[in-house]
Amino acid sequence: MDRATFAPGRAGTGRSSAVRGALPLVLATIALAATGGCARAPAAGPALCRGPTDDTLRPVPLALAPAVNAAFHASMPPAMVVRTGVIRCADGAVLACVTGANLNCGKADTSRHNQGAINWCRGHPDAAFVPLFAAGHASIYTWHCTQGKAVPGWIVQPVDAQGFSAAHWRKIAVPGDGTPPPG
């Protein structure tokens, strides 16, 4: 499920079904941690990932909350990490993203066509910049207006190989996989 259909903690987004669906994942993660886990995250396959690279966004299992806090140098209560964070897998690593001040955990918008910027430029035909509330926080470009047309500028959000904003995702240490915690 993508960020558009999974918004942790937001009313009307199916949170209760997401929690029910996540219960087996949480239990499997706790079992992995209790038994020493596996050598690498992909070996935990059914518990965390469908393969070495799996773009499916999933809620952060409670057992991984400390690892997410360590990766982001944060001290959020575990319940907040679970409520605001998601995980995915890339190249055999488990990655986490925590939403907050308008961070996009879904795929980045790499399109050079932006309806929000187009709409803004109609009313501001020579604006030196299009604000993010108009262009959207998922766009990787800055935007400006030239004679009423939206024009993409430089890339401000580099993307990773799977198309996510690279700066928003951090590798996390899965208990028992031998990965040292981020420092």
pLDDT, mean of residues 92-104: 86
pTM value surpassing 0.75? no
Spatial separation of the C-alpha atoms in residues 103 and 135, rounded to whole Å? 14
**Residue 162: exposure state from Cβ atoms within 10 A (0-12, 13-18, ≥19):** middle
Measured between alpha carbons, how far is residue 59 from residues 16, 30, 74, 117 in Å? Answer: 12, 14, 18, 31
Q: What is the pLDDT of residue 179?
A: 54
What residue segments make up the domains of the chain, in order of their start? 15-101+163-171, 115-155
Average pLDDT score over residue span 23-42: 38
Angle (CA) 59-65-71 rounded to 5° is 105
pLDDT band at 44 (very low <50, low <70, confident <90, very high): very low
Could you read off the pLDDT of 131-147 as tens digits, one per residue? 999 999 889 999 999 99
Give the CA distances from residue 144 to residues 103, 116, 128, 133, 156, in Å, rounded to whole numbers and listed in that order: 21, 12, 5, 13, 13
Q: Which helix (DSSP H) or strand (DSSP E) does residue 149 occupy?
A: strand 149-155
